Structure 1
Amino acid sequence: MASTTTWEPGVQPGHQSGGGKTFLGHPRGLATLFMTETWERFSFYGMRALLVLYMVAGTNHGGLGMKVALATAIYSVYNAMVYLLALPGGWIADRFLGARKTVALGGAVIMIGHFLLAVPVKASFFVGLVFIAAGSGLLKANISTMVGHLYDGPNDPRRDGGFTIFYMGINLGAFAAPLVIGTVGQSVDWHLGFALAGVGMALGLGQYLMGTRHLSAKSDVVGSPITAAEKSALLKKGAFWVALALAFYAVVVLTGHFTISWAVWPLSIAGIAIPVLVFARFKRDKELTESEQSKISGYIWFFVVAAVFWMIYDQSGSTLSVFADDNTNLSLLGWHFPSSWFQSLNPLYIMALAPVFAWLWVWLARRAKNPSTTMKFAIGLLMIGASFFVMMLAMAAASGGVKVSPLWLALVYLVQTVGELTLSPVGLSVTTKLAPAKYASQMMGVWFLAVTAGDCVAAVIQLGLGDATGSTVYFAIQGAAAIVAGVALVMYRKNVIRLMGDVH
């Protein structure tokens, strides 16, 4: 979520205790948030590396014995809900608890969720996923904001460096998780792996609570406290919709029709419908100027492109994970490794390539050759489409039970990472630039909705194609769709640039 830079009267921005100690030249609180995020990402990506593999593993191997299509759809919807729930997560901090308490609550809920996954009971597994998604929404929406609170406004020269250090914590946790949790889960016991993810979150939560005194006082402020009347109305509406959902599912369960698809399909449809409703509300808003409405129209192009990108990119932990386990030779130069280790490639590539791309854009800008935002988005989309064409070739090479070289997946993840570095940081930037003043704080949440929409489209495709999920045709269709969308953006880029107005 976008970090806020306004302060309450009497609150000193960046204030912290600790005798002036610093962390790599930054406020001491950055160490607390860095380690919290590192451990949270360790738990999240470690569990994610096992999730689909556990669901498709046969019951004789301790898994749930699901079909690939259903398991990958559950994964897609779960990932979508993590990003969707970042919206209410930010709202809870703004209206009820403040960022500091909300992050602590989120960490506790995530920890409980992981330990629920560790219980070898099917119902406990799905309840655990709900807890992790809800807790991630609470934590993800606010921890980046708290990094911003540590600095004396947007012009503090240390600010960008602080976020860079924080970003490295994300990738360190994501890199280590599959190597540790993936190995334990696949080689020892699935549920022990899930428990280890819970231990990781417990360590993150523990050091967060011990280091909370180093955080800014701004992180305690409830920006817009909810009134008693608003709270009463909210409780009534919430109770109504919860009762309606419980009544509906009670009927489905009691009539013997309930399957997990009864949860996956409604969530998938909701994840696609909500962004549509959000943009419809923006376009109907008479308070927005003609220029702001034009920028919203331009932003819709970027949103759709981003949704297509994340639809493919987020399958790194689902269809690509299944391919790694079923169709890849898990030995390199005589050394055997678990299939979950492939999940460490993306954060490794990011840590290696992010500084290169940061330098590249500056180098091109100095020579007046820096690609426009639309071209960077198109390049990202073409790259992600190309990655699935590589997967199509890899799947064809694996026909007849052949185990292909791990270098196929290493190449796929490299191409996807290049696409991510071209599109994702630029998307964050253009979101803030095109946001109407009225919705400035909400637009970063809208950007997260692109992930939700993309993952939910992936879930619909997976459920619709059934046994064809993960086939050569499956990868070819989505790769072609991404490339067509990328070409369309290039062809219509002048129209998009015109809609963007004074934003470049």
Structure 2
Amino acid sequence: MASSLTKDSPSAPAGPEKTFFGHPRGLATLFLTEMWERFSFYGMRALLTIYLISGGPDASKGLQGGGLGMDLATTTAIYSIYLSMVYLLAMPGGWLGDRVWGPRKTVAIAACTIMAGHLTLALPGTGTFFAGLALVALGSGLLKANISTMVGQLYDGPDDPRRDGGFTIFYMGINIGAFFAPLVIGTVGEKYSWHLGFALAAVGMGIGLVTFLVGTRHLNPASSRVPTPLSREERVSWLRKGMTWLLIAAVFYGVVGLSGHFTLNWAMIPLTLAGVVIPAGVLIRIKRDKDLSAAEQTKMSGYIWFFVAAAVFWMIYDQGGSTIQAFGTTKASTELFGIGFPTSWYQSLNPVFIMALAPVMAWLWLWLNRKGHEPTTVVKFAAGLVLVGVSFFFFLMPLLMASGGALVSPLWLVGIYLIQTVGELCISPVGLSVTTKMAPAKYASQMMGVWFLAVTAGDSVTSLLSIAGVDLSRSGVVALEALLATLAGVAVYMYRKQVRALMGDIH
């Protein structure tokens, strides 16, 4: 990346300031840090489902042994809980950056936690696996909100003309890391050694951490400050509450464990319920806040429509790493045009489609806007829901073809991921934008975390279904999910005028 640094006009006596594609040099630091963090995150995620089913009743015969041997229902539940916790922990991660450590220190702590998690995953054993997974989820939650905050701090306020372009470059770093991770970590883990693959994820995060620590001198000094530090009384109060809940959990699970009644569900069910209850509770608390003006209350009513729609979308979309990945591993051919490949490579399809299609979609919205025909935010959400529903209707065809034991073409999965990516581009960037626009002034800095809770809610519903014994890979269940998403999209479209009215002056 050093070769991409260019010279800008002089701004200091020492000479011309170095920039990164015309942006503050600190963007290169954050770009590379996020790229390597995503490399580690998506590399481990590409292995997660395959590792969990390896050696179990739902694994294919040619799959490397040494995994945890779980059935697909348990695997899907664990995968979904893991993702839901990553996004749930983004809110306390942002809080710690705002009130305890500051964004810069929080990111450094997060990177160390993630690296420790991957190193723990590299050790054999079921206990170490879950400990490592918890550490990665915790670290990812800490990092997610704070590194984006530091990107924004590089610019002279929200009106800086370079700001949107800076976030676009940063977003490309996410997808570059996500694209290469399954090709490297997935290949090594799936074909040679699961634990070596997890160790490579730790190496990736280690490179990201070193890059961050070396490049911190290029960041805005504000990133090392705590915006609204806790008072001494608040620190004592929060510490007391935390220790109390920790003691309650330790006593409860100690009793369950010593009595011989502990099973995996004792851990999964509370986490899953929390993933549904907490997002609902946060929305209700904001909606009932008497400090909100009448206009803000109305906008929050409209925002709930978008939140529920997004939760339905992510419930289906995130099965691309569980239900669909497992199908690709066990029911699809591992050769295309005579060339063999590890099935973890399926997880590289989404980032490459994002990089290819995001500029096209952005151009399309601008072109339609000039023509006066750009779809409204509500219509884009409806389209995203319908598309994710269509992807599961499309999934039905290879499911039925494989029911007789035949291996289907990998191109079926390419098609599923392509349709889902187009749907994501209708939902994700639009949802981020509408969240910032509709946020009440009192909750302006918290609403991005609220948006991430839609992912938590959707994945938690998937986990609940799996724990309840619903086989999400059955054609009948897939058809019901497809129908649910499609009908939700149609409902949003039919009520678009009412939702638009609730949005007030937001377009």
Q: Give the alignment partner of residue 324 of structure 1, picking from 320, 323, 328.
A: 328
Query: Which residue matches 2:147?
Result: 143
| Partners of 1:401 and 1:327 in 2: CA distance | 8
Q: Which AA in structure 2 matches 1:231? A: R
Please state how far the C-alpha of 1:33 moved relative to its aligned partner: 0.5
Q: Distance in 2 between matches of 1:465 and 1:375?
A: 35
Structure 1: segments with no counterpart, 5+ residues = 1-13
Instruction: Note the C-alpha offset of 1:497.
Output: 1.0
Q: Is the 8 A contact 1:18 1:28 kept in 2?
A: no
Letter of the 1:157 partner, please give it: P
**1:75-114 equivalence runs, <5 A:** 75-114=79-118
CA drift of 1:161 comes to: 1.1
Query: 1:154-210, CA deviations, whole angstroms, 9 ceiling, x for partnerless residues?
Result: 121211111111100000000000000000001101000000001000011011111
Q: Give the residue type in structure 2 aligned to 1:122.
A: T
- Report matched runs for 1:406-417 at 5 Å: 406-417=410-421
- Selected match of 2:464 from 460, 463, 471: 460
In the TM superposition, residue 18 of structure 1 has moved relative to its aligned partner by 9.8
Q: How does 1:374-393 map onto structure 2 within 5 Å?
A: 374-393=378-397
Q: Distance in 1 between matches of 2:288 and 2:312?
A: 25
Match of 1:372 among 369, 373, 376: 376
Contact 1:83–1:449 (CA<8 Å) still a contact in 2? Answer: yes
Selected match of 1:335 from 334, 339, 344: 339
Distance in 2 (alpha carbons) for counterparts of 1:294 and 1:24: 41
Q: Are 1:477 and 2:480 matched, yes or no?
A: yes
1:165 to 161, 166, 169: 169
User: What percent identity do the matched residue pairs reach?
Assistant: 61
Displacement of 1:465 in angstroms is 3.1
TM-score by length of 1: 0.95
Give distance in 1, aligned partners of 2:98 and 2:164. 24
- Seen in structure 2, the aligned counterparts of structure 1 residues 331 and 371 have a Cα distance that, compared at 3 Å, is same
Could you say which residue in structure 2 is the equivalent of 1:58? Answer: 55
Alignment of 1:246 onto 2:261? no
Q: For residue 187 of structure 2, what is the amino acid of its counterpart?
A: T
Cα distance in 1 between the residues matched to 2:16 and 2:186? 40
User: C-alpha distance in 1, partners of 2:135/2:399?
Assistant: 35
Paired residue for 2:185? 181
The Cα of 1:118 is off from its aligned counterpart by 0.2
Query: CA separation in 2, counterparts of 1:501 and 1:303?
Result: 17
State the alpha-carbon separation in 1 of the partners of residues 373 and 15 from structure 2.
Answer: 46
The 3-state SS of whatever aligns with 1:401 is coil
Aligned residue-pair number? 489
Cα shift readout 1:80-122 (whole Å, capped 9, x = no counterpart): 0000001010110111111111000000000000000000111
**1:18–1:214 contact (8 Å) kept in structure 2:** no
- Shift in Å, 1:474: 2.3
Task: Note the 1:17-56 alignment, pairs <5 A.
Answer: 20-56=17-53
Question: Which of 192, 214, 217 is equivalent to 1:213?
Answer: 217
Of 429-438 and 17-26, deviating more is 17-26
2:316 is aligned to: 312
Q: Which residue of 2 aligns with 1:9?
A: none
Quote the Cα distance in structure 1 between the aligned partners of 2:441 and 2:155: 23
Aligned partner (choices 272, 288, 295) of residue 292 of structure 2: 288
SS in 2 for 1:97: coil
Quote the Cα distance in structure 1 between the aligned partners of 2:463 and 2:160.
43
- The answer as to whether partners of 1:380 and 1:420 remain within 8 angstroms in 2 is yes
String of CA shifts for 1:229-269, please: whole Å, max 9, x gaps: 00111111111111111111111111111111111111111
Conserved 8 A contact 1:111-1:198:
yes
Q: What corresponds to 2:497 in structure 1?
A: 494
Question: d(CA) in 2 for partners of 1:285 and 1:23?
Answer: 43
In 2, the alpha carbon distance for the partners of 1:367 and 1:469 equals 43
Q: Return the alpha-carbon distance in structure 1 between the equivalents of residues 182 and 424 of structure 2.
A: 20
- State the SS of the aligned residue for 1:389: helix
Deviation at 1:317, TM superposition (A): 1.0
Alignment check: 8 A CA contact 1:393 1:472 kept: no
Q: Which residue of 1 aligns with 2:8?
A: none
Distance 1:57 1:437, change over 3 A: same
Query: Contact (CA 8 Å) 1:379, 1:422: kept in 2 or not?
Result: yes
How far apart are the structure 1 equivalents of 2:74 and 2:409?
27
**Quick one: which amino acid aligns to residue 228 of structure 1?**
R
Q: What amino acid is aligned across from residue 487 of structure 2 in structure 1?
A: V
Tell me which amino acid in the other structure corresponds to 1:124: T
1:139-166 deviations in whole A, cap 9, x for unaligned? 1111011111111111212111111111
CA offsets 1:399-424 (integer angstroms, 9 cap, x no match):
11110011100000000000000111
- 2:256 maps to a residue whose letter is V
Which residue is equivalent to 1:448? 452
How far is the alpha carbon of 1:19 from its aligned partner? 6.3
Give the counterpart letter for 1:52 in structure 2: T
Supply the distance in 2 between the matched residues of 1:87 and 1:133 (Cα, whole angstroms).
Answer: 13
Cα distance change, pair 18–136 in 1 and its aligned pair in 2 (3 A): farther
AA of the residue aligned to 1:76: S
In 2, Cα distance between the equivalents of 1:233 and 1:157?
42
Residue pair 1:106, 1:135 contacting (<8 A) in 2 also: yes
2:196 aligns with 192
How far apart in 2 are the matches of 1:480 and 1:213? 52
Which range moves more in the overlay, 233-242 or 403-412? Answer: 233-242
| CA distance in structure 2 between the partners assigned to 1:113 and 1:485 by the alignment | 38
Local SS of the residue matching 1:21: strand
> Secondary structure of 2:404's match?
helix
SS state of the match for residue 151, structure 2?
helix
Any unmatched runs of 5+ in structure 2?
1-10, 57-63
- Distance change in 2, residues 1:318/1:218 (3 Å): same
Q: C-alpha distance in 2, partners of 1:422/1:18?
A: 44
Matches within 5 A, 1:97-136: 97-136=101-140
* Secondary structure of 2:17's aligned partner: coil
- Which residue identity lines up with residue 46 of structure 1 in the other structure? G
Aligned twin of 2:280: 276
CA distance in 2, matches of 1:255, 1:323: 38
Give, in whole Å, the separation in 2 of the partners of 1:251 and 1:19. 65
**1:478-500 Cα distance to aligned partner (Å, 9 max, x none):** 11111111111111111111111
| 1:57 CA drift (Å) | 0.4
In structure 2, what is the equivalent of residue 11 of structure 1? none
What code does the residue aligned with 1:396 have? L
Partner Cα distance (2:437, 2:148) in 1: 19
> Which residue type is aligned with residue 478 of structure 1?
E
Match among 255, 258, 261 for residue 259 of structure 2: 255
Partner of 1:360: 364
